[in-house]
Structure 1
Amino acid sequence: MTIWVNEQIDPCGIVYSCIACCDEATAEECHQTWLKNLSEQQKQEGWIAILRIVDSWDEVPVNALKLSV
């Protein structure tokens, strides 16, 4: 099983938002939206949006919104 995990991480390295799903297109769309919505000030402060792949729901942060898409 492949699960795409979108994470928005604050300057301290804390996961601010997390959405996980099994659909690559949905995950990529979410990731691009998060990247686009980060302001220049947030980027300068160290906010990042990452998209990573995991093989198990056990590897997804517990605070994630888990979509069955």
Structure 2
Amino acid sequence: MLTIWVNEQLDPGGLMYACIASRSEALARDCHESFQQNLTPEQIRLGWIARLRTVTSWDEVPVNSLNLG
């Protein structure tokens, strides 16, 4: 089964601010940690989130994502 790791940073309205996809779990977890650390206390208070999820097809990856090999 194909596993693609998708990192998303979302604003309070649910709009995607940044998205990075990778087949590497280690790379994805590092990226997710960076996304979380880069959220300011003000952004967190306002409802910004960093989300890490998996999908099984490139068709499920948001079109504006950066693909890290």
TM-score by length of 2: 0.96
Instruction: Tell me whether 1:55 sits opposite 2:53 in the alignment.
Output: no
5+ unaligned residues in a row in structure 2: which ranges? none
Instruction: Tell me whether 1:8 sits opposite 2:6 in the alignment.
Output: no
1:12 shift after superposition: 0.7
Q: How does 1:7-26 map to 2 (within 5 A)?
A: 7-26=8-27
5+ unaligned residues in a row in structure 1: which ranges? none
- 1:63 & 1:6 partners in 2: Cα distance? 12
TM-score by length of 1: 0.96
1:67 shift after superposition: 1.5
Q: CA RMSD in A?
A: 0.5
1:60 shift after superposition: 0.1
Moved over 4 A (4+): none
Report % sequence identity.
Answer: 57
The one-letter code of the counterpart of 1:3 is I
- 1:36 & 1:67 partners in 2: Cα distance? 20
User: Residue 29 of structure 1: SS of its match in structure 2?
Assistant: helix
